[in-house]
Amino acid sequence: MEISTLTVYHCLAFVWYFFVSYSITLVGTEDRPSEVFLYGGQWKYLTVLNLVLQAVFYGVSFLADVLRLIKKLRCVKCVISSRDLLFSVLAFPVSTFVSVSFWALYTYNRELVYPKSLDGIIPPWLNHAMHTALLPFAFLEIFATPHRYPTKKKGLILLGFASFVYISWVLWIYSVTGEWVYPLFALFSPVGLAAFFTGSLAIIVCFYNFGEFLNRMIWGQFILCF
């Protein structure tokens, strides 16, 4: 993709994710179910955190494109490195995990992740913006531009650390409120919950490896010269 076209695309993607993130803050407070947006607010939901993550990633990508256009080579290398690290370790695996896991659980029993009471509060377009549009954006990014992945050890350590931070946040909220972020978690014993978190981490690692595989298959020769 030409750099000018890529710049427009990343700008539009940034605006889109910023708009969706902002739209979440406009959800009315008076009709919210009692379990929604209390302690921790919207920041306890991985979906919302991912929207902010995607907005940051596309903002950094847009900045990298602009710097390349104006030939600011001293700055662009650092920004591109940050962009690639964000995409490889977080933006691609997290967005893919959020979309796939949400719709899998929604199909099985929506009350476990997205109670029907939310239908009257969050419009369908916003639900799909948060959970469906993630996949086409993630895969389009891989096909649009090459990304240098870190070493496997570094990438997985960073991904594992980010996962640990979010799981710790979820457990902290439960310790304070006695309520789980997602009703699904209430179904598990402590051992079962540990197994669930471990399985989820294994899945997100698979998505990380899948993103690296696609990137290498599409851009392998180009990345060597990038």
Instruction: Tell me the torsion sign for CA atoms 162, 163, 165, 166.
Output: positive
23-59 pLDDT, tens digit each: 988 875 555 554 555 677 788 999 999 999 999 999 9
- Please name the residue that has the structure tokens 């979309």: 99
What would the DSSP string read from start to end of 51-92? HHHHHHHHHHHHHHHHHHHTT-HHHHHHHHHHHHHHIIIIIH
Question: Is the per-residue pLDDT at 221 higher than 70?
Answer: no
Distance CA 14, CA 84 (A): 16
pLDDT for the residue 225: 47
Cβ pair 87, 148 in contact under 8 A: no
**pLDDT for 109-159, tens place per residue?**
998 889 888 888 889 999 999 999 999 999 999 999 999 999 999 999 999
Give the pLDDT band of residue 2 (cuts 50, 70, 90). Answer: confident
Establish how many alpha carbons lie within 13 A of residue 41's alpha carbon, considering only the half-sphere containing its beta carbon. Answer: 9
Average pLDDT on 93-114 reads: 94
Residue-wise pLDDT tens digits, 148-161:
999 999 999 999 99
Dihedral angle, C-alpha 199, 201, 203, 206, nearest 10 °: -140
For residue range 50-95, what is the model confidence (pLDDT) as tens digits?
A: 999 999 999 999 999 999 888 777 778 899 999 999 999 999 999 9
- Residue 144 tokens read as 């649009």
Distance separating alpha carbons of residues 74 and 175, to the nearest angstrom: 47
